[in-house]
Amino acid sequence: METESIQTESRFHSDTVTKYLLMGIAAIAVSIVFFIILFIFGNSIGAITDVGLTDLLTGPRWRSSEGLYGTVPIITATLLVTAGAILFAVPIGVAAAIFISEVAPSRFKSVLKSISEVFAGIPSVIYGFFGLTVLVPLLRDTFPSHLLMGYSWLAGSILLGIMALPTIISVSEDALSAVPKSYREASMAMGATKWETTIKVVTPAAISGISAAIILGIGRAVGETMAVMMVCGNSAIVPDPIFNVFSRIRPITSTIALEMPYVVIGSTHYSALFFLALILMIMVLAISMASKIIVNRTRRKFGETENKPSLTGIIVAKLPVPLVNGFKNALVVAGLFLIAYFISLTFSNSFGAVLIGISVTVAIVASSLLWLNRLKNEGVSDRPRNPSEFIESIPVKIKAVSRNIITYALVITVVFMGASLFYDDVVAFMAGLAVAAAYVTLRSVFRRIDSRVVQKVAHTALLAVMIFAILLLVYILADIFIEGLPMITWDFLTGYPKDAGRAGGIYPAIVGTLKLIVGSMVIALPLGMITGIFLAEYAKDTPFTRTVRNSIDILNGTPSIVFGLFGMSAFVIYFGFGNSLLAGCITLGLMVLPVIIRTTEEALKAVPGELREGSMAMGATKWETTVKVVLPAAIGSVITGVILSIGRVAGETAPIMFTAVIMYQRVMSHSIFDPVMALPYQLFYLATEGMGSPAMQSAVATVLLIMVLSMFTLASVVRHYFDKRIRW
């Protein structure tokens, strides 16, 4: 094609053909989302017809051996463990982000950011191993009269909190850095200190981004499987009382991972597990929608254009307004009802809880409408048409007053809940009041102190939080390396396991993990890069493109355990690949697809337009330009993305546990239809089953960590190298 001089017309044709080919491949991402939903929903229909939707959603007990599939304790557990994780992670994460963005000297910023990336790169099974060997015994020894074993909601929340930290830190930091410099300058010019500027100007300006960070953190925590399963104790009960953080709980993800291996395919139990996955998907979708709305709001604030609606958005826009408003109302009412329902479940049976839920919802909605009516009479606000508008219509003054009241009430409640686990209720309530009083006093004292002193105290506190986070990471890594490194010998790396994995080497697990990496990349690389190229170079802002983008967002947010279920039902069973390397590679490949698409797209978009124009002006077609000019210029970032996704594939456990792995293999098979051993699963198995010495478990963890962390190091080296080399 290059040698011949081709007429413009056929060049035009070849570009159109290429475009539609690429479009077709990009549509695969959409179809994957469609099939995931189809398989998950399709398989859960059995439970809905056998058990009934009401019994599934309101049944108080989950006992498969007795045919009881009430999801209340399971869903409650997911909500509770996530809430706990957020309570742990938000203060630390936001403080660390503020420290990195506003306080840290600029030369430390990138170092601190890469440290938080290392946090993100540690596989979840390693966190679980840390939880099992360090956190659980530590909690047991700290609270001997409350924790018999240490397995608890508390352990799960702390671990999940640590895992959500990197997301919260990096997204909040981005939001803070995105606040225009002029805001800071204006504030400082008014005589405010740096700290006052940070807390009163920069943070409020970035609050949407920080909220998005928190929501993304919640998303990560909700879908997490391995770590939670290893430390939560897995009793399918609602904590008693509901804020008893020492209770054992069994969240959605743990239930699926624990029970899926032993269900009969097609049974009610099997279907009930898919129903749980469906609920998990709905939760995650709701979370990602919420974060999108908030991100859009930020864009509006800083004068950027909003994302245009996708196909769904267009459909919604075409619906009659009353229907949309009615839907909004229904959502708010349903939300209120669910919250009231779950809270009152602790005091009464499920029927009573329904009644309480209804009455509380009615009371809240009615009183808020009445209150608004009164406000209207006082001329404060228009009468809002529905409850969701009501929230936005609350005037600023009332907001401030009620914010204070809510803050004090929250402080008292939280302290009461914590203290009542140790002391009786009266003492606990007094403690709540005392802490609230101390809070008020401290706040007024702080107001009178010289603002430079306040700044010093605040910055020191931020530094302390940052150091705490770094020490935590160092501790996790050191704990594993110190015990594991001495165990690693040549024989350990190249030998076969003996005595059910208690002794011998881990050669098949290392090779198995490499096979999974290569196989998943063979699937994800072409698909992902081509979709990325389409989105960056060819796609216009059409409904189709937006749908592709939304699908990629959904794939990106889908919990890995859902990929595992999808892989099992689609590839292992439906296509009949069996528990095999092939099924595992496809599942993992689909899981990392969004990462590769996004990094390719971002990398290509960063290439300046002049390069393309230059190439096109020389008579190259668009495809020639993309492949020979744009892609080589962006190759550094693309490689970085690929290496990062290899790191992710190496450490994932949940997607392969039902699709590709076995525990013990003495002779390796090289058929893609045979299962493999894999490092993360081996660690999970050895650690939970107490197989082999703790040192041997740590050695497996060390090998896995070295593998994953070297990928991250390689990625950052590549990135720095290209960052330095390429100057437009």
498: Cβ contacts below 8 Å, ≥ 6 apart: 504
Q: Tell me which DSSP letter residue 247 carries.
A: S
Q: Specify whether the CB–CB gap between 312 and 549 falls below 8 A.
A: no
Q: For other proteins, which residue of 521, 555, 650, 699 counts as binding (CB under 8 A)?
A: 521
Q: How near is the Cβ of 237 to other proteins at its closest, in Å?
A: 5
Q: Specify whether the CB–CB gap between 363 and 371 falls below 8 A.
A: no
* φ/ψ (deg, to 5) at 425: -60, -40
Give me the amino acid identity at 215: I
Burial of 296 (0-12, 13-18, 19+ CB in 10 A): middle
Helices (H), 190-251: 194-197, 203-205, 207-223, 226-231
Q: For other proteins, which residue of 264, 321, 426, 617 counts as binding (CB under 8 A)?
A: 264
Q: Does 349 bind other proteins (CB under 8 A)?
A: no
Among 580, 704, 680, which residue's Cα sits nearest to residue 257?
680
Using the minimum distance from each CB to other proteins, give the nearer residue, 543 or 694: 694
Residue count at the site for other proteins (CB under 8 A)?
67
Q: For other proteins, which residue of 137, 326, 395, 619 counts as binding (CB under 8 A)?
A: 137
Pairwise CA distance, residues 13 & 36, whole Å: 35
C-alpha count within 13 angstroms, C-beta hemisphere, residue 505: 15
Q: How near is the Cβ of 222 to other proteins at its closest, in Å?
A: 22
Using the minimum distance from each CB to other proteins, give the nearer residue, 548 or 581: 581
Distance from CA of residue 173 to its chain's centroid? 17
Q: For other proteins, which residue of 107, 262, 450, 609 counts as binding (CB under 8 A)?
A: 262
Q: How near is the Cβ of 86 to other proteins at its closest, in Å?
A: 25
Q: Which of residues 569-598 bind other proteins (CB under 8 A)?
A: 572-573, 578-579
Q: How near is the Cβ of 562 to other proteins at its closest, in Å?
A: 20
Pairwise CA distance, residues 481 & 220, whole Å: 26
718-to-144, 636, 724 alpha-carbon distances in Å: 49, 6, 10
Q: For other proteins, which residue of 130, 151, 246, 538 counts as binding (CB under 8 A)?
A: 151
Q: How near is the Cβ of 512 to other proteins at its closest, in Å?
A: 9
Q: For other proteins, which residue of 5, 105, 182, 261 counts as binding (CB under 8 A)?
A: 261
Q: Which uninterrupted H or E stretch holds 147?
A: none
Q: Does 636 bind other proteins (CB under 8 A)?
A: yes
Q: Does 433 bind other proteins (CB under 8 A)?
A: no
Q: Is the peptide bond before 241 cis (omega within 30 degrees of 0)?
A: yes
Q: How near is the Cβ of 262 to other proteins at its closest, in Å?
A: 4
Q: How near is the Cβ of 630 to other proteins at its closest, in Å?
A: 14
Q: For other proteins, which residue of 27, 188, 192, 263 counts as binding (CB under 8 A)?
A: 263
Binding mask 60-99 for other proteins (x = CB under 8 A): -x-xxx-------x--------------------------
Q: For other proteins, which residue of 11, 140, 292, 299 counts as binding (CB under 8 A)?
A: 140
Pairwise CA distance, residues 676 & 674, whole Å: 7
Q: Does 149 bind other proteins (CB under 8 A)?
A: yes
Q: Does 609 bind other proteins (CB under 8 A)?
A: no
Using the minimum distance from each CB to other proteins, give the nearer residue, 462 or 581: 581
Q: How near is the Cβ of 610 to other proteins at its closest, in Å?
A: 19
544-to-313, 526, 553 alpha-carbon distances in Å: 12, 21, 14
Q: Does 627 bind other proteins (CB under 8 A)?
A: no
63-to-70, 237, 250, 272, 523 alpha-carbon distances in Å: 8, 10, 12, 11, 39
Return the C-alpha torsion angle 483, 485, 486, 487, nearest 10.
Answer: 90
The owner of tokens 């959904």 is 554
> Among 101-109, 192-200, 232-240, 279-287, which window interacts with other proteins (CB under 8 A)?
232-240
Distance from CA of residue 202 to its chain's centroid? 25
C-alpha count within 13 angstroms, C-beta hemisphere, residue 243: 11
Among 263, 203, 208, 209, which residue's Cα sits nearest to residue 69?
263
Using the minimum distance from each CB to other proteins, give the nearer residue, 352 or 690: 690
Q: Does 691 bind other proteins (CB under 8 A)?
A: yes
Using the minimum distance from each CB to other proteins, give the nearer residue, 394 or 421: 421
Tokens of 625: 């330009």
Tokens of 11: 């060049």
Using the minimum distance from each CB to other proteins, give the nearer residue, 39 or 416: 39
Q: How near is the Cβ of 87 to other proteins at its closest, in Å?
A: 24
Give me the amino acid identity at 696: M
Q: Specify whether the CB–CB gap between 24 and 534 falls below 8 A.
A: no
Q: Which of residues 472-511 bind other proteins (CB under 8 A)?
A: 494, 498-502, 507, 511
Q: Which of residues 651-690 bind other proteins (CB under 8 A)?
A: 661-670, 674-675, 688-690
Using the minimum distance from each CB to other proteins, give the nearer residue, 107 or 670: 670
Using the minimum distance from each CB to other proteins, give the nearer residue, 137 or 322: 137
Tokens of 181: 């410099």
Using the minimum distance from each CB to other proteins, give the nearer residue, 103 or 510: 510
Q: How near is the Cβ of 521 to other proteins at its closest, in Å?
A: 7
Using the minimum distance from each CB to other proteins, give the nearer residue, 295 or 633: 633
Pairwise CA distance, residues 294 & 219, whole Å: 14
Q: For other proteins, which residue of 123, 217, 233, 655 counts as binding (CB under 8 A)?
A: 233
* Chain positions contacting other proteins, by CB under 8 A: 61, 63-65, 73, 137, 140, 148-149, 151, 233-237, 247-248, 258, 261-265, 494, 498-502, 507, 511, 514-515, 517-518, 521, 572-573, 578-579, 632, 635-636, 639, 642-643, 661-670, 674-675, 688-691, 714, 718, 721-722, 725
